[in-house]
């Protein structure tokens, strides 16, 4: 007679829209695949889903219900950084691991909870490749455009610090709320058009990014003279942009993961899941967050078996009759062991090597992609050890992460306006004050400086010194209007 399997209750907190339902189905598929080849395991994860309803309160209520009424041993989720803060605190209080595959804000690491497991990349890990791109093209000023919430602002200190070390100025930071209207987005873009900097680094979630680039194209900012670089929150979804032409010429960075037979097989499975979840949906390849969700479920299944099968209950302490829900749930007796086992779990997943250090997934190399007519094209790769390289045959190097690199390692690139040459990065600002240059007026030796007056009382300044001055000003990596 077969030995009875031990159920381990696991909560899943997701926004149960079409994407959330599809992600939950992928997590379920991961466990089905895993237990099919590990039928000797005595434990089985039992998934209990809750809808976080797209906001912070919904995520908090879902987690409270799972901890108090279901007494789960772990929670997978939430989907977004803005929802994660309170859940991490609840996990710390109940000693239950909170495993996220998509909350990437660096600010979450500051909470320093041993029960927060980020099975995704910290956004600060992509600062290196973005700065390397800026250095490669010799741009000296950039403008940051980020989403006005915890996710958007989390990367800013790391980005500004890294750009400063590379001697790149950030003269302006544009902050756009997720609730901004199209007119408000346009107003902010028009403000950027009055400035001289034409290099923009965009860090926001895909829904807001799609609106930003749609409006930028409408008002003429997806044209020559402009360069747009996006973080992986946008680049991961390049191939699902509709239409892709709104982002023609945009450069993005996203995690590189090796193409394997396991991944090819999952792609077929993923299309079936999408079509079953939402038959009217267009089918795209799974993005990195789906792969991390799949790998998170595998890691948790392995850790649950390693942690053992005892004490799958809560120790509930007595509270006063007027206690709130925040005080009335207990502490998981298996949580510490499960967290330790999860932290030591390593395997090769769909998204590459799964290894946690200090509770976070370790950063792989990044690939640099360029939006062309039909979608994203890989034009290069980046590693902390080697900088920008043309092929994914990575070797070790003692180089510093922010050393200057060469654009020659990047493949053929299309820029906004369907141009093949990169923009210089600046134009003469429409609202800037002109530099006034005084020159001496001499009547004798005029080879160095010569001033003549025109009939309309304007002046004409010529001479060797003037030629040298004009050449120096033209060679600057930014525009300085002068007279």
Q: What is the CATH number of the domain that holds 134?
A: 3.40.50.2300
Q: Containing H/E element for 379?
A: strand 376-383
Answer yes or no: is 1 within a domain: no
* Domain-terminating residue out of 393, 409, 425: 409
Q: Please tell me the predicted confidence (pLDDT) of residue 400.
A: 46
Q: Is residue 63 part of a domain?
A: yes
Pairing of strands 6-14, 43-51: parallel
Domain match, 321 and 244 both: no
Residue with tokens 């500051």: 110
Phi then psi for 287, rounded to 5 degrees? -85, 180
Judgement on whether residues 248 and 372 belong to the same structural domain of the protein: yes
DSSP state of 364: -
State whether the Cα torsion 395-399-400-403 is positive or negative. negative
| Cβ neighbours of residue 196 closer than 8 Å, sequence gap 6 or more | 141, 426, 427, 428, 429, 432, 478, 479
Considering the domain architecture, whether residues 75 and 149 belong to the same structural domain is answered as: no
Question: Which tokens belong to 141?
Answer: 């000023």
Q: Which residue is it, tokens 């997943």?
A: 349
For 441, the domain range is: 433-483
Q: Spell 342-375 as b/e; 16+ CB within 10 A means b.
A: bbebeeebbbbebebeebbbeebbbbbbbbbeee
Cα 248 to Cα 136, 192, 213: the distances in Å are 20, 19, 10
Give CA–CA dist 142/134, Å, rounded: 8
Q: Is residue 135 part of a domain?
A: yes
231 φ/ψ sector (left φ>0, alpha ψ -120 to 50, else beta): beta
Q: Do 295 and 380 have their domain in common? A: no
What's the DSSP call for residue 76?
A: E
* Phi, then psi, of 270 in degrees rounded to 5: -65, -45
Helices (H), 426-475: 464-475
Return the residue matching tokens 């210089």.
Answer: 424
Q: Is residue 82 part of a domain?
A: yes
Q: What are phi and psi of 134, to 5 degrees?
A: -60, -45
| Residue 467 forms part of a structural domain | yes
Report the domain count for the chain.
3
- 219 and 330 both lie in a single domain: no
Q: Is residue 327 part of a domain?
A: yes
Of 135, 141, 124, which is closest to residue 410 (Cα–Cα)?
135
pLDDT tens by residue, the chain, 483 residues: 456 789 999 999 999 988 889 999 999 999 999 999 999 999 999 999 999 998 899 999 999 999 999 999 999 999 999 999 999 999 999 999 999 999 999 988 877 889 999 999 999 999 999 999 999 999 999 999 999 998 889 999 999 999 999 999 999 999 999 999 999 999 999 999 988 899 999 999 988 999 999 999 999 999 989 999 999 999 988 877 767 778 899 999 999 988 889 999 998 888 888 888 777 766 667 889 999 999 999 999 999 999 987 778 888 766 555 555 556 678 888 889 999 999 999 999 999 999 999 899 988 899 999 998 778 889 999 988 888 988 887 665 544 444 446 788 888 999 998 888 898 888 876 555 677 888 888 777 777 888 887 877 777 888 888 888 888 877 766 666 777
Q: Two tokens at 358?
A: 């200090």
DSSP secondary structure string for all residues of 331-358: EESSHHHHHHHHHT--EEETTEEE-EET
Q: Do residues 371 and 248 make contact, with C-beta atoms less than 8 angstroms apart?
A: yes
Boundary residue ending a domain (347, 376, 409): 409
Note the pLDDT of residue 66. Answer: 94
SS3 for 246-270 is: HHCCCEEEEECCCCCHHHHHHHHHH
Looking only at the bridges linking them, the beta strands covering 387-389 and 376-383 are antiparallel
Decide if 332 is inside a domain: yes
Question: Domain check: are 40 and 113 in the same one?
Answer: yes
Question: Contact, 39 vs 48, CB < 8 A?
Answer: no
Return the closest-CA partner of residue 422 out of 227, 207, 214.
227
Which of 361, 255, 254 minimizes the C-alpha distance to 299?
A: 361
């Amino acid at each position: 007679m077969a030995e009875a399997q031990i159920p381990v209750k696991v909560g899943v907190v997701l926004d149960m829209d079409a994407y959330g339902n599809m992600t939950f189905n992928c997590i379920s598929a991961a466990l089905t695949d895993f237990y099919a080849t590990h039928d000797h395991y005595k434990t089985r994860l039992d998934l209990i889903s809750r809808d976080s309803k797209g906001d912070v309160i919904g995520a908090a209520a879902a987690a409270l219900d799972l901890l108090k009424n279901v007494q789960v041993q772990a929670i997978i989720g939430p989907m977004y950084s803005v929802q994660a803060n309170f859940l991490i605190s609840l996990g710390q209080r109940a000693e239950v691991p909170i495993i996220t595959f998509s909350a990437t804000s660096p600010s979450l690491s500051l909470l320093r909870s041993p029960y927060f497991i980020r099975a995704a990349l910290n956004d600060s890990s992509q600062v290196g490749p973005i700065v390397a791109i800026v250095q490669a093209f010799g741009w000296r000023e950039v403008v940051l455009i980020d989403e006005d919430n915890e996710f958007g602002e989390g990367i800013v200190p790391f980005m500004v610090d890294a750009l400063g070390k590379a001697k790149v100025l950030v003269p302006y930071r544009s902050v756009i709320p997720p609730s901004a209207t199209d007119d408000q987005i346009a107003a902010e873009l028009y403000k950027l058009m009055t400035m001289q900097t034409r290099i923009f680094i965009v860090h926001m979630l895909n829904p807001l990014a799609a609106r930003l680039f749609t409006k930028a194209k409408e008002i003429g900012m997806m044209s020559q003279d402009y360069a747009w670089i996006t973080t992986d929150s946008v680049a991961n979804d390049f191939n699902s942009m509709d239409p892709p032409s709104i982002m023609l010429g945009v450069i993005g960075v996203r995690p590189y993961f090796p193409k394997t037979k396991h991944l090819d097989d999952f792609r077929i499975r993923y299309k079936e899941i999408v079509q079953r979840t939402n038959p009217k949906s267009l089918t795209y390849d799974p993005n990195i967050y789906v792969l991390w969700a799949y790998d998170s479920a595998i890691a948790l299944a392995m850790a649950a078996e390693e942690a053992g099968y005892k004490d799958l209950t809560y120790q509930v302490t007595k509270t006063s009759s007027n206690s709130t829900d925040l005080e009335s749930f207990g502490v998981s007796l298996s949580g510490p062991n499960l967290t330790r086992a999860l932290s030591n779990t390593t395997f090769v997943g769909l998204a590459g090597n799964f290894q946690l250090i200090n509770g976070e997934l370790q950063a792989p190399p990044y690939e640099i992609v360029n939006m062309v007519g039909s979608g994203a094209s890989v034009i290069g790769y980046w590693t902390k050890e080697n900088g920008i390289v043309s092929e994914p045959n990575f070797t070790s190097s003692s180089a510093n992460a922010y050393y200057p690199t060469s654009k020659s390692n990047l493949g053929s690139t299309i820029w906004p306006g369907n141009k093949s040459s990169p923009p210089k990065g600046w134009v003469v600002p429409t609202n800037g004050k002109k530099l006034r240059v005084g020159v001496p007026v001499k009547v004798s030796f005029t080879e160095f400086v010569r001033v003549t007056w025109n009939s309309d009382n304007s002046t004409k300044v010529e001479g060797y010194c003037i030629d040298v001055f004009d050449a120096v000003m033209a060679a600057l990596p930014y525009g300085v209007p002068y007279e």
